[in-house]
């Protein structure tokens, strides 16, 4: 079987990618920053310690590989401006691209974000043809991921890099160790979410994303982008679904956009004065006030993206949190 270099294996999506690659009997080289114990040993899996911004480490890890799945990223929304995001998301991607330039790869799968495209409404959701609008938020995460996506597209045009780009929406499911997106479930369970903002987003089971991403090693068109999502829900609908699954009361009160904006600006002012990030910032509030709705029909057709019900993703995430002691933690 081919050998795949996987970055980001210790992350939420990365752990599912590693599992999916193993199930399909791929040989995997997982590039990790530090030695880790929660990735189980496997005869077909090699853990390689190194930083993805280090050209020497990346070249050594990629040498002899047939394909790459680049899933590593710094997914941080707070603070909105952080140079570390550009180092991880753009410089890291550029380092892998330069190494890939000198290796006869059959496929380079880049994992981006659906927010690299313009969103739409529930009736007319955004797709891969919509121009980027994330710059309006002042979010280094969105801007750095969009810049990295453009670098991959340039490598396809100029170097004939055999790349396919996949862009997940908001992922839910088990094994969210940090936690990342699952923090929303934990806060709802603890009763700390007293209201819901005006916007919404697209949700997808993390395992569905893993399946479609691994499919991209042999499916999809070179240079094409694919949004990996499932169900568009307002925050009111999503919070009600999550609360019902966890058997807790849902938030009752809508948060008017103007009030949310004032709160975000107040948080920014507190951050400037204290030097410490507040719970949210103005960029996060602006995103929450918008409806980030997307269509994944292209990925369903061309990458075989599964469409597991979001209720199942929430239930599996909640069960995993309970089994691993997260539900009782106070963070």
Q: Which range is least confidently modeled, 35-49, 92-106, 171-185, 294-308? A: 35-49
Confirm if 162 and 224 have CB atoms less than 8 A apart.
Answer: no
254 exposure class (CB count in 10 Å sphere: 0-12, 13-18, 19+):
middle
Residue 210 clears pLDDT 70, i.e. is over it: yes
**Which neighbouring-strand residues pair with 67?**
4, 107
As a whole number, mean pLDDT of residues 280-287 equals 93
As a whole number, mean pLDDT of residues 16-44 equals 86
Q: Which residue has the tokens 């819901």?
A: 196
Residue 84 clears pLDDT 50, i.e. is over it: yes
For residues 69 and 237, give the distance between their C-alpha atoms in angstroms, rounded to a whole number: 33
| The predicted structure's pLDDT at residue 331 | 42
Q: What token pair was written down for 74?
A: 């710094």
Residue 8 clears pLDDT 60, i.e. is over it: yes
Question: Which residues have C-beta within 8 Å of that of residue 32, sequence separation ≥ 6?
Answer: 9, 10, 39, 47, 48, 49, 50
| The predicted structure's pLDDT at residue 223 | 97
pLDDT in tens, 130-169: 999 999 999 999 999 999 999 999 999 999 999 999 999 9
Residue 44: pLDDT band with limits 50, 70, 90: confident
Residue 25 clears pLDDT 80, i.e. is over it: yes
Q: For each of the domains in the chain, give its residue range(s) and CATH number, in order of start.
A: 3-173+203-230+294-310 (3.40.50.720)
| The predicted structure's pLDDT at residue 37 | 60
Residue 208 clears pLDDT 70, i.e. is over it: yes
For residues 95 and 71, give the distance between their C-alpha atoms in angstroms, rounded to a whole number: 14
What length is written for the chain?
Answer: 331
Q: What token pair was written down for 97?
A: 């691209």
Q: What angle do CA 200, 138, 163 make, to 5 degrees?
A: 80
Mean residue pLDDT of the chain comes to 94
Question: Which residues have C-beta within 8 Å of that of residue 280, sequence separation ≥ 6?
Answer: 78, 263, 264, 267
**Percent of the chain surpassing pLDDT 90:** 88
Confirm if 254 and 156 have CB atoms less than 8 A apart.
Answer: no
Residue 191 clears pLDDT 50, i.e. is over it: yes
Confirm if 118 and 46 have CB atoms less than 8 A apart.
Answer: no
């Amino acid at each position: 079987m081919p050998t795949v270099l996987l970055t980001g294996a210790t992350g939420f999506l990365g752990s599912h990618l590693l599992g999916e690659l193993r199930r399909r009997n791929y040989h995997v080289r997982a590039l990790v920053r530090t030695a880790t114990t929660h990735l189980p040993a496997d005869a077909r899996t090699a853990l390689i310690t190194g930083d993805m911004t280090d050209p020497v480490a990346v070249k050594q890890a990629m040498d002899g590989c047939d394909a790459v799945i680049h899933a590593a990223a710094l997914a941080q929304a707070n603070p909105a401006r952080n140079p570390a995001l550009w180092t991880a998301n753009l410089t890291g991607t550029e380092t892998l691209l330069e190494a890939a330039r000198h290796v006869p790869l059959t496929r380079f799968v880049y994992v981006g974000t659906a927010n690299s495209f313009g969103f739409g409404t529930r009736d007319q959701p955004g797709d891969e043809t919509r121009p980027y609008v994330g710059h309006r938020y002042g979010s280094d995460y969105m801007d750095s991921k969009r810049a990295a996506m453009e670098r991959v597209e340039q490598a396809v045009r100029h170097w004939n890099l055999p790349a396919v780009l996949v862009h997940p929406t908001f992922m839910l499911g088990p094994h969210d160790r940090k936690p990342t997106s699952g923090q929303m479930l934990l806060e709802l369970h603890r009763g700390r979410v007293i209201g819901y903002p005006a916007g919404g987003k697209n949700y997808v089971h993390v395992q569905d994303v893993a399946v479609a991403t691994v499919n991209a090693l042999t499916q999809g068109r070179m240079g094409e982008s694919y949004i990996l999502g499932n169900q568009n829900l307002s925050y009111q609908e999503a919070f009600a679904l999550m609360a019902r699954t966890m058997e807790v009361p849902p938030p009752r009160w809508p948060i008017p956009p103007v009030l949310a904006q004032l709160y975000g600006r107040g948080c920014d002012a507190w951050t400037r004065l204290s030097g410490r990030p507040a719970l949210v910032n103005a960029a996060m509030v602006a995103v929450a006030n918008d409806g980030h709705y997307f269509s994944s029909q292209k990925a369903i057709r061309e990458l075989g993206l599964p469409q597991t019900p979001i209720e199942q993703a929430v239930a599996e995430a909640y069960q995993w949190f309970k089994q691993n002691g997260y539900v009782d933690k106070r963070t």
